[in-house]
Amino acid sequence: MTSTHQQRVVIAIDGPAGAGKSTIAKRLAQRLGFTYIDTGAMYRVVALWGLRQNVAMTDMHRMEQLAIAADIDLAPGRISLNGEDVTEAIRTPEASSGASQVAVIPGVRRAMVAKQREIGQHTNVVMEGRDIGTVVFPDANVKIYLDDDPGERARRRAEEMRAKGENPDLRALAAQMRERDQRDSTRADSPLAQAPDAIYLDSTGLSLDEVEEAILKIVRNRITNGKDFS
């Protein structure tokens, strides 16, 4: 039998907006020496390009063309579109809403999923999004569905924005997140859903360290039979 150490490992983390997926996925990747992939950032990049080109987010044909043509580079901590660093530009409310709208389009999803599979084919990854455990890597070694109380999720997102010098209206932000979650979980193609074999983790009341430890325990059990990664 092949040693598990020689196979590439995929840790899939899905869940609604503001559940803390990015923070936890980044910490896990760092801890394990894996590559961190933020798939939401990829949909945001496509939306940003469409917004800049004045393409309607509902224009399925044009948005698919942009998704196929987009040269998206995910360097650690930075993301670029056709060579331009758009790390900050994709975090506006327009890009958030746009990403959720273009993510409904099957052709856009096909293009993104192909890029995501390509990245995860050869390297150990912690990949976070909405459909990683269900569609992108249904054979992922570890699948986590990370959830949190909706009020807590909105507060977490507001705190991130304040840290960047913004002054968000908590009620408006909570409403935008509700709208996005509703669209993301009811669309026909690859809706946000917990994979049947995913572990549901509710982080309500847990510290970041506690969530990280809980997931690491699952990873160790699934991949190294309880041993630490070296």
Q: Are 222 and 142 in contact (CB under 8 A)?
A: yes
Written in H, E and C, the secondary structure of 149-178 is CHHHHHHHHHHHHHHCCCCCCHHHHHHHHH
Instruction: Provide, rounded to whole angstroms, the least separation between the CB of residue 100 and ligand DC.
Output: 3
Residue that has been written with the tokens 């995929």 in this structure: 10
Q: How far apart are the first and last CA of the chain?
A: 20
Using CA atoms, how far apart are residues 56 and 200, in angstroms rounded to an integer? 36
Choices 33-41, 51-59, 80-88, 117-125 (CB under 6 A): range interacting with ligand DC: 33-41
Instruction: Provide, rounded to whole angstroms, the least separation between the CB of residue 117 and ligand DC.
Output: 12
Choices 28-36, 66-74, 126-134, 160-168 (CB under 6 A): range interacting with ligand DC: 126-134
Instruction: Provide, rounded to whole angstroms, the least separation between the CB of residue 2 and ligand DC.
Output: 29
What does each C-alpha distance from 219 to 10, 110, 118, 142, 225 come to in angstroms?
10, 28, 23, 6, 9
Choices 65-73, 97-105, 159-167, 218-226 (CB under 6 A): range interacting with ligand DC: 97-105
State which of residues 9, 19, 25, 39 lies at the interface with ligand DC (CB under 6 A). 39
Instruction: Provide, rounded to whole angstroms, the least separation between the CB of residue 146 and ligand DC.
Output: 11
Q: Taking CB under 6 A as the rule, does residue 115 contact ligand DC? A: no
Q: Taking CB under 6 A as the rule, does residue 131 contact ligand DC? A: yes
Apex CA 186: angle with CA 70 and CA 55, to 5°? 35
State which of residues 81, 180, 198, 219 lies at the interface with ligand DC (CB under 6 A). 180
Q: Taking CB under 6 A as the rule, does residue 44 contact ligand DC? A: yes
Q: Taking CB under 6 A as the rule, does residue 144 contact ligand DC? A: no
Residue of 52, 49, 40 lying closest to 16 (CA atoms)? 40
Q: Taking CB under 6 A as the rule, does residue 130 contact ligand DC? A: yes
Instruction: Provide, rounded to whole angstroms, the least separation between the CB of residue 5 and ligand DC.
Output: 28
- Cβ atoms < 10 Å from Cβ of 122: 9
Q: Name which of 5 and 200 has its Cβ closer to ligand DC.
A: 200
User: Which letter does DSSP use for residue 86 in this model?
Assistant: -
Which residues lie near ligand DC (CB under 6 A)?
17, 39-41, 43-44, 99-100, 103, 129-132, 180, 184
